[in-house]
Structure 1
Amino acid sequence: MARVSQQHLDARRRQILDAAARCFARNGFHATSMQDVLREADLSAGAVYRYFSSKEELIGAIVTEVLDTVREAFEEAASQSPPDPPDVLVGQVMGRVLRGEFGMGTAAGVEAPRLLVQVWTETLRNESLAALLRTGYDTVRAAWVKVVEAYQAAGLMRDDVPAEHVARTMIATAQGFAAQQALFGEVPVEVLRNGLRGLMSMGGQKPG
């Protein structure tokens, strides 16, 4: 029997994750069954269960992938000296997430805003998913803190404000943009970029 290549295995796993992402975004976690995922992926039960033993495992894999995508993007940005300004950086990262870059499939990227909103809701009742999200959030926050510290070290941002406070605010901006995408329809990433640029144009004087 011919050995199945790793490339084939990775492509099949990607096929399943993309199908699950479409189903979850379209119908929600609870209204989606594994049979729905099988039909969407056009695969047999054996082919899918070889990779994922349950719907919960699929959800966890997608959540981890989206969070890892954002973390990797900002870790890459933090390695630059200095990083691009916030309006450019946040806009670039959100655009790349939505396009499914950093190894995340295009389907998961396009559906990321709807998936994230559903995940936030699901964490209120699912402790294991909540723990996964907290861990992922901590790694993302650490990557953003490095970016802010790089801004401060380069003299591009006030250093009298804790870097973690700025990082949390930047995360909230991205989360809010994702929520708008999910709830009110697609919005060009340029809107986020221009809005941040407008906020950044205000004077940087310290309060008296």
Structure 2
Amino acid sequence: MPRAHRPTAQRREEILDAAHALFTTKGFQPTTMEDILRVVGIAKGTLYYHFPSKEEILNALVLRIVGQVEQRAREIAASSSPAVDKLMAIMATMRVKETETELVEQFHAPGNAEFHLLSITAMIEHLTPVLTDVVAQGVREGFFTTSRPYDAIELLLSASGILLDHDILDTGPDKLSRRRNSLIWATETLLGARPGSLSILMEADS
């Protein structure tokens, strides 16, 4: 039986929650729009009004996860902590929670390359402004010296999104360790930090 009328935003979240559960248990490709309809219990027209396709639903789930990470990052950035502590905390929060791990695996599944790319580019777009403010704070504190914090962060997030992704590049233990060390070096260089001062970020990323 169709459910009672709900506000548009609430109905949209119900659809996303149902799709999240199905995609992580059944898989994205095997799940059908009819499967989602049965779980949510709404009319077909209502589902297609919110999301014209299954791909649109996964797209929205990608952006929802990134939005949640951005919210947590903004809360950290608004705290009274030193910039380097904020940087470490935001890096930690960028790692998806265990409850999201199985869904993220669907972004990496064969045939889902566009969602994988979206997860990387959306994280760059949403986190760059937040981290730029943190770096600007670090410049005021004398920890960083860069005059181009936005450009530096955008480059660093782009590089890490590619270099540390095992679906894009071979990330065997030796290569992964070397790339992490290279990213620490690049971060110190681009942000104008003292060499070795950000080695602690290696621990935060392990």
TM-score scaled by structure 1? 0.57
Q: What one-letter code is carried by the residue in structure 1 that aligns with 2:107?
A: V
- Structure 1: gaps spanning 5 or more residues: 99-109, 177-203
Query: In structure 2, what is the equivalent of residue 118 of structure 1?
Result: 106
Partner of 2:128: 142
1:67 matches 2:62: no
CA gap 1:205/1:49 in 2 versus in 1, 3 angstroms? closer
For the Cα contact (< 8 Å) 1:22–1:111, is it kept in 2? no
Structure 2: where are the runs of 5+ without partners?
166-192, 197-206
- The question of 1:19 aligning with 2:5 is answered no
Match of 1:153 in 2: 139
CA deviation profile, 1:55-94 (whole Å, cap 9, x unmatched): 1111111111111222233244334454554454455x46
Identity in percent:
26
Identify which of structures 1 and 2 has the higher relative contact order when contacts are C-alpha pairs closer than 8 Å and 6+ apart: 1
Distance 1:114 1:147 in 2: 32
**Structure-to-structure mapping, 1:32-47, within 5 angstroms:** 32-47=31-46
Instruction: Please list the CA deviations of residues 148-185 of structure 1 after superposition, one character each: whole Å capped at 9, or x if unmatched.
Output: 5145225474558x85399549x77xx99xxxxxxxxx
The count of aligned residue pairs is 159
Which residues in structure 2 correspond to 1:1-208 (within 5 Å)? 8-80=7-79, 82=82, 84-91=85-92, 93=93, 98=97, 111-121=99-109, 125-127=112-114, 129=115, 132-143=118-129, 145-146=131-132, 148-150=134-136, 152-155=138-141, 157=143, 159=145, 163-164=152-153, 168=157, 206=195
**Counterpart contact for 1:75–1:144, Cα < 8 Å:** yes
RMSD: 3.9
